[in-house]
Amino acid sequence: MGILRKSVERLWLVVVLIVLWWFASAGSTSIFYPSLDTIVSTLWTDLASGLLIGYLGFSLGNLLAGLALALILGIGLGLLIGEIRWLGEAVEPFVDFLRSIPQVAIIPLIIGTFGLDAGPKIYSIAAGCIFPILLNTIDGVRGIEPTVRRFGKVYRISGPRYFRKVVLPGALPQIMAGVRVALPIGITVMVVSELYAARMGIGFYILNSSSTFHLTETWAGAVLVGIVGYLISIIFNLIERGSLRWYFKSGATTK
């Protein structure tokens, strides 16, 4: 019963907005604002034909690869920068400079340098995702209680084991917060990177449909991106709850 109540509390507004959109757009004859019924029908047709399945697989593959690269670099560098104070002071100006550049602005540079294959798109997604993860990791490391660090020294935990057993668990809640911020950025960069001379992907589907005045397909692609983003958010919430079970049980957060 509790699960049902929480589901209703989370989804009632979404359902209301979908119903309003459905009835408000019913019978629309505009090519620019097709009815939701037409959009859903077009989306289902292109999914059933396998066209969008292939594009979606390509896009999600790039997203997962880019996010994995950002996690490796962001967490690895964040642990070192957060733990080694002189290193943090040395690289802070460079981090501030690089994170001030809009992620979308560097996509043409990366694609122009490395080509049109999947690699540059993965690099673009990683570049967009890395800074929320990096900065939250640094803050997480620096926010570890001094008592926890003293326990590590008392038990003579040093080297890689110290990072694995003391620093990483202590910073993990903040790291997960960084990943949560990075996910929508990654999805945005995923789509935008496929607007530049791409041959596959959801972004290519949206751009190609728009440029050929198939605007119902353009709406269908946009709706699909929203659905995928929502499902990814749900999956991440489950992963976060599982990996931080001890954190939520401790009462450290009011989620």
The pLDDT tens digits for 86-106 are 888 898 888 888 888 887 778
Assess whether pLDDT exceeds 80 at residue 130.
Answer: yes
Does residue 89 form part of some domain? yes
Please report which confidence band the pLDDT of residue 117 belongs to, taking 50, 70 and 90 as the band edges: confident
Please tell me the predicted confidence (pLDDT) of residue 109.
Answer: 82
R_g of the chain, CA atoms, integer Å: 22
On the 0-12 / 13-18 / 19+ scale of CB atoms within 10 A, 117 is exposed
Please tell me the predicted confidence (pLDDT) of residue 253.
Answer: 47
Distance CA 142, CA 134 (A): 12
As a residue count, the chain comes to 255
CATH number, domain at 67? Answer: 1.10.3720.10
Give 8 or 88, the one with higher predicted confidence: 88
Does residue 21 form part of some domain? no
Assess whether pLDDT exceeds 80 at residue 251.
Answer: no
Please report which confidence band the pLDDT of residue 132 belongs to, taking 50, 70 and 90 as the band edges: very high
Please tell me the predicted confidence (pLDDT) of residue 67.
Answer: 96
Q: At what angle do helices 36-48 and 2-25 cross, to 10 degrees?
A: 110
Report the pLDDT averaged over residues 71-89. Answer: 90
Distance CA 52, CA 218 (A): 12
Does residue 203 form part of some domain? no
**Total structural domains in the chain?**
1
Assess whether pLDDT exceeds 70 at residue 7.
Answer: no
Please tell me the predicted confidence (pLDDT) of residue 227.
Answer: 92
Q: At what angle do helices 168-193 and 103-114 cross, to 10 degrees?
A: 70
Report the pLDDT averaged over residues 28-51. Answer: 89
Does residue 236 form part of some domain? no
* 65's tokens: 């690869």
Does residue 40 form part of some domain? no
CA distances from 80 to 129, 159, 177 (A): 18, 12, 19
Does residue 229 form part of some domain? no
Please tell me the predicted confidence (pLDDT) of residue 41.
Answer: 93
- The domain of 83 spans 61-197
Does residue 98 form part of some domain? yes
Please tell me the predicted confidence (pLDDT) of residue 63.
Answer: 95
Distance CA 89, CA 82 (A): 10
Report the pLDDT averaged over residues 26-36. Answer: 85
Give 110 or 152, the one with higher predicted confidence: 110
Range scoring the smallest mean pLDDT among 32-46, 138-152, 238-252: 238-252
CA distances from 114 to 62, 109, 120 (A): 15, 9, 6
Average of per-residue pLDDT values in the chain: 85
The pLDDT tens digits for 167-214 are 888 889 999 999 999 999 999 999 998 887 678 899 999 999 988 888
Assess whether pLDDT exceeds 80 at residue 153.
Answer: no
Distance CA 156, CA 31 (A): 69
* 189's tokens: 């960069």
Distance CA 74, CA 104 (A): 19
Report the pLDDT averaged over residues 128-156. Answer: 84
Residues 6+ apart with CB under 8 A from 59: 190, 191, 194, 201, 202, 203
Please tell me the predicted confidence (pLDDT) of residue 175.
Answer: 93
* 109's tokens: 């540079």
Please tell me the predicted confidence (pLDDT) of residue 148.
Answer: 74
Assess whether pLDDT exceeds 70 at residue 255.
Answer: no
The vertex-62 CA angle with 56 and 68, nearest 5°, equals 130
Does residue 51 form part of some domain? no
